[in-house]
Amino acid sequence: MDQAAAQRRLRAISGHLINSSGEPSRGQEQYVVASPTAAEFVYDQGYSVVLPEKLQTGKWNVYRSARFPLKLVTRFPDHPDIGTLHDNFVHGVESFRDYKYLGTRIRDDGTVGEYKWMTYGETSTARTAIGSGLVCNGIPQGASVGLYFINRPEWIIVDHACSAYSYVSVPLYDTLGPDAVNYIVNHADVQAIFCLPQTLDIILSFLSQIPSVRLIVVVDGVDEKMPSLPVTAGVKIVSYSKLLQQGRSNVQPFRPPKPEDVFTICYTSGTTGTPKGVVLTHKNMIANVAGFNTNVPFNPSDIYISYLPLAHIYERANQVALAYYGVAVGFYQGDNLKLMDDLAVLRPTIFCSVPRLYNRIYAGIMNAVKTSGALREKLFTTAFNSKMQAIANGKKPSPIWDRLVFNKIKARVGGRVRFMGSGASPLSPDVMTFLRVCFGCEVIEGYGMTETSCVISAMNPGDNLTGHVGSPNASCEIKLVDVPEMNYTSDDLPYPRGEICVRGPIIFQGYYKDDLQTRDVIDEEGWFHTGDIGLWLPSGRLKIIDRKKNIFKLAQGEYIAPEKIENVYAKCKFVAQCFVYGDSFNASLVAVISVDQDSLRGWASSNGVQYEDLEQLCRDPRARAAVLADLDAIGREAKLRGFEFVKAVTLVPEPFTLENGLLTPTFKIKRPQAKSYFSKAIADMYAELAASDPDSKKGL
């Protein structure tokens, strides 16, 4: 194709693909930027477009959103003046000043009641006071500020204050142990920490080891009960209310950041090694949220429940979007066991969660259906199949099924949810379909990472196909890179496969004080290598199929992706958590199951199995056989390959937790630690398999 023809095609695509969707028109291009990828040639795939990586000579392997094929989004289309998180909140306040914003059920005396709200305007006033208080206490512009407590209105207020006064927020997981907190505070040179009374003692236990800290602010702290420190310590301890009062008495002008300034250092705790500090700028976050919300907008009448950890990028990005659209944010009590009660009172319209909770909702409802009696089970099955068929065919389901069956299920999350989002790990297609049918709302799965400021790709509204994570965020482009050692290549049929690489304004600036690891993941052309393996489905949908790092080979040479199998087995009613293990010395997989205690006890009662305590029941061969049989049935339903089935299980009553060292703060299994922790159980299972089948090690 000659240059003149390329220009004609460029103009045609620009006029047709962009303007027809109501996206950028002439004079509005200031919020989109060109990228190194040559956009002169575009091959439309439906939800994505494919471009050559380099002009004339490049392979056609770069995918972008079909809604923005020529340039990547960097700012909100309707408000290109918003370049920082400070600008974003100012927009929210100016547009929605008297709207409800931050709500909590917790009263000053600790009791729980109805939600009590702060407006956008009231939050703005508190933000200014907290920021002014930090300035008055000598915290310099550009300093790092630690947030060491769970989701509540004060978290958001402090975060807004950091943006308004050019501080760098550093979230600290409330569940992290002293060693990790100590490391992060020192590594990020944190000068001020906001905490709760119960986490204050942790900080004080290693105060002498964190010399950068100058101010500790205790949320819910009582001034009269604040511990006194010697002047030589060089650290002030004040209550949040006192800092608020100081700021109100001495209001300081904003110190607005620039788009390229750092807004947060977000530490990711991997399965091994020390936490890595992901450096994100205001520009990174605005670009990501602006790109994603061209696909999924919210509105000021929406209500959102905040319970996903604010220390994670998933919830941070959500909060940026919510402020832009004027959404009301209600916080949970702080106890996951009481979340369903909070949902019933708040009645949100937007509910974002992770597969772990959706799997529990699915298992709970299906278990209730199966024990409700033959007639009710048949009614549910008929209603489910009818509604599922209508949705699959793009038709409106009969409202009778909601009245007879599904309204009761909807009521479990308040009855008003219109949008469900899922992220952090893969959601089973069956569970996705189940949520769409039972809750009758848009259910969208996304894929992202801290290093990409959150969303890399997400499903498009109205796309009824399941088992994928949608098309690229409008603010990035994606390509797949060959991984020959795993037999994944871009030439694979029927679908191209490879490591997912991402480029665009959403990519982080690097790991804080760690150039070596930064160079390991960002190549010379600016591509971030995620370590995830994906494939392109028809119409430009991305599907995650493997993990480059968490794979191992069985004795017969088959590669195993344990997380994929664990996600399948998560649907088993007996499974609360699952750790699948294998190695190159054995031909079979084994699993350690942290049991769902109610389900296992229910099985024992139904089958007349006597036991003294749960630990004894877990050791009972009949219980192990029952769980293994259920896992086999679920594996067959999911079409696992023969070598992907576990051949032996160990049941344990205790959960995998942060405290016993088996989970990261993002609730991913620490595989090396789990292998060590359950080493005896693993050895015993393989010995048992060898005794029953001498050829098991050979894979025969």
Residue 312's φ and ψ, nearest 5 degrees, are: -100, 150
The answer on 271 and 202 residing in a single domain is yes
- Is 66 among the domain residues? no
Full DSSP string of 162-216: HHHTT-EEEE--TT--HHHHHHHHHHTTEEEEEE-HHHHHHHHHTGGG-TT--EE
- Is 68 among the domain residues? no
The answer on 324 and 397 residing in a single domain is no
- Say how far apart CA 212 and CA 675 lie, in whole Å: 37
- Say how far apart CA 681 and CA 652 lie, in whole Å: 10
Which percentage of the chain shows pLDDT scores above 90?
67
Chain segment 52-63, per-residue pLDDT in tens: 887 666 688 899
Closest to 538 (Cα-Cα) out of 63, 70, 52:
63
Percent helix / strand / coil, the chain, rounded to 5: 40, 25, 35
CB–CB of 564/548 below 8 Å?
no
Chain segment 637-660, per-residue pLDDT in tens: 988 888 899 999 999 999 998 888
Q: Which of 21-25, 523-527, 557-561, 576-580 has the lowest mean pLDDT?
A: 21-25
- pLDDT at position 529 over 60: yes
In which domain, by residue range, is 228 found?
Answer: 85-331
Tokens encoding 79: 């408000």
CB–CB of 488/499 below 8 Å?
yes
The answer on 541 and 557 residing in a single domain is no
Residue 417's φ and ψ, nearest 5 degrees, are: -65, 125
The answer on 601 and 538 residing in a single domain is no
CB–CB of 133/244 below 8 Å?
yes
- Is 67 among the domain residues? no
The answer on 487 and 378 residing in a single domain is yes
- Is 72 among the domain residues? no
Chain segment 112-158, per-residue pLDDT in tens: 999 999 999 999 999 999 999 999 999 999 999 999 999 999 999 99
pTM (2 d.p.): 0.80
The answer on 199 and 112 residing in a single domain is yes
Q: Domain total for the chain?
A: 3
194 — pLDDT class (breaks 50, 70, 90): very high
Average pLDDT (471-478) is 97
Distance in Å from the first CA to the final CA of the chain: 56
- Say how far apart CA 159 and CA 210 lie, in whole Å: 22
Residue 593 forms beta bridges with which residues? 578, 651
Domain of 285, CATH number, reads: 3.40.50.12780
Q: CB under 8 Å to 190, separation ≥6 — which residues?
A: 144, 145, 146, 170, 184, 210, 212, 213
CB–CB of 118/350 below 8 Å?
no
CB atoms within 10 A of CB 663: 21
Chain segment 553-562, per-residue pLDDT in tens: 787 767 787 8
Tokens encoding 115: 């939600």
- Say how far apart CA 9 and CA 13 lie, in whole Å: 6
- Say how far apart CA 162 and CA 512 lie, in whole Å: 19
Domain of 614, CATH number, reads: 3.30.300.30
Which percentage of the chain shows pLDDT scores above 70?
90
Q: End of a domain among 528, 547, 566?
A: 547
- Is 185 among the domain residues? yes
- pLDDT at position 384 over 90: yes
- Say how far apart CA 648 and CA 374 lie, in whole Å: 33
Q: Position 591: which residue type?
A: A
- Say how far apart CA 63 and CA 43 lie, in whole Å: 9
Residue 281's φ and ψ, nearest 5 degrees, are: -95, 170
CB atoms within 10 A of CB 643: 17
CB–CB of 133/211 below 8 Å?
no
Q: Position 222: which residue type?
A: V
The answer on 574 and 473 residing in a single domain is no
Average pLDDT (81-101) is 98
